[in-house]
Chains A and B, each alone.
Chain A
Amino acid sequence: MNNGHRQTKNLGQSLSSHHPLTIIHFTLSIEENMPYSTSETVDAVVIGTGAGGAPLLARLAAAGLKVVALEAGKHWNPTTDFATDEKAQEKLFWTDERLSAGNDPIPFGSNNSGTGVGGSTLHYTAYTPRAQPDDLRIRTDFGVGSNWPIPFDQLEPYYDEVEQFLGVSGPSPYPWGPDRKRRYALGPLPINGAGQLMQRGCEQLGIKTSPAANAALSADYYQEGVGHRKACTNRGFCQAGCTTGAKASMDVTYIPLALHHGAEIRPESFVTQLITDESGKIRDVVYVRNGQEERQRCRFVFLCAGTVETARLLLMNNLANSSGQVGRNVMAHTALQIWGEFDEDVRPYKGIPGALISEDTHRPKHRNGGPIDFAGGYLLQSIGVMPVTYLSQMARARGLWGQELKRAALAYNHVAGINILGDCLPDAGNYLELADEKDSRQMPKPRVYFSNGENEKRMTAHADKIMRDIWDAAGAKNVWAFPRNAHIIGTCRMGKNANTAVVNADGQSFDIPNLYISDNSTFPSALSVNPALTIMALALRTADRFLEQQK
Chain B
Amino acid sequence: MPEHYPNGTVRALLPTDQVTEPTRQALTERLETPPPKPDFFSETEFSLLEAICNRLIPQDKNQPPIDIAGSIDERLVQNKSDGWRYDTMPADGEAYKLGLAGVDETASLLFDSPFQSISDTRQDLVLQQVQQGDAPGEIWKKLPANRFFEELLAEATTNYYSHPLAQEAIGYVGMADVPGWQRIGLNQLEDREPKIIDG
B64-97 contacts to A, CB under 8 A, are 79-88
| Number of A-B residue pairs with CB-CB distance less than 8 Å in the complex they form | 179
Known: A399-B150, A409-B161, A409-B170. Is A97-B83 also a contact (CB below 8 A)? yes
- The reply to whether A108 and B84 contact each other, CB–CB distance below 8 Å, is yes
- The reply to whether B157 and A236 contact each other, CB–CB distance below 8 Å, is no
Total count of chain B residues near the partner, CB < 8 A: 57
Check A322 for interface membership: any CB of B closer than 8 A.
no
Known: A95-B81, A97-B85, A110-B82. Is A83-B157 also a contact (CB below 8 A)? no
Binary contact readout A103-146 vs B (1 if CB under 8 angstroms, 0 otherwise): 00111111001000000000000000000000000000000000
- The reply to whether A237 and B20 contact each other, CB–CB distance below 8 Å, is no
* A345 and chain B: residue at smallest CB distance: B187
Check A349 for interface membership: any CB of B closer than 8 A.
yes
Taking the closest CB of chain B, its distance from the CB of A439, in whole angstroms, is 9
Taking the closest CB of chain A, its distance from the CB of B13, in whole angstroms, is 11
Give the complex CA separation of A409 and B161 in angstroms.
Answer: 9
Taking the closest CB of chain A, its distance from the CB of B107, in whole angstroms, is 17
Taking the closest CB of chain B, its distance from the CB of A51, in whole angstroms, is 19
Total count of chain A residues near the partner, CB < 8 A: 67
- The reply to whether A413 and B170 contact each other, CB–CB distance below 8 Å, is yes
Taking the closest CB of chain B, its distance from the CB of A488, in whole angstroms, is 11
Cβ of B153: which chain A residues have Cβ within 8 Å of it? Answer: 395-396, 399, 401
Residue in A113, A388, A402, A412 whose CB lies within 8 Å of B56: A402
Give the complex CA separation of A346 and B181 in angstroms.
Answer: 13
- The reply to whether A100 and B181 contact each other, CB–CB distance below 8 Å, is no
Cβ of B150: which chain A residues have Cβ within 8 Å of it? Answer: 396, 399
Give the complex CA separation of A108 and B184 in angstroms.
Answer: 31
Residue in A96, A192, A346, A347 whose CB lies within 8 Å of B83: A96
Check A64 for interface membership: any CB of B closer than 8 A.
no
Taking the closest CB of chain B, its distance from the CB of A83, in whole angstroms, is 4
- The reply to whether A97 and B56 contact each other, CB–CB distance below 8 Å, is no
Q: With contacts A90-B82, A193-B185, A233-B177 known, what are 14 further pairs, Cβ within 8 A?
A: A83-B26, A84-B174, A85-B26, A85-B175, A96-B81, A100-B86, A109-B83, A233-B180, A345-B188, A396-B150, A401-B127, A402-B56, A403-B58, A410-B170
Chain B residues proximal to chain A, CB less than 8 Å: 3-5, 19-23, 25-27, 30, 55-58, 79-88, 124, 127, 131, 150, 153-154, 156-158, 161-162, 167, 169-172, 174-175, 177, 179-182, 184-189, 193, 196
**CB-based closest 9 A-B pairs:** A109-B83, A233-B180, A349-B174, A101-B87, A108-B84, A88-B26, A395-B157, A351-B184, A87-B162
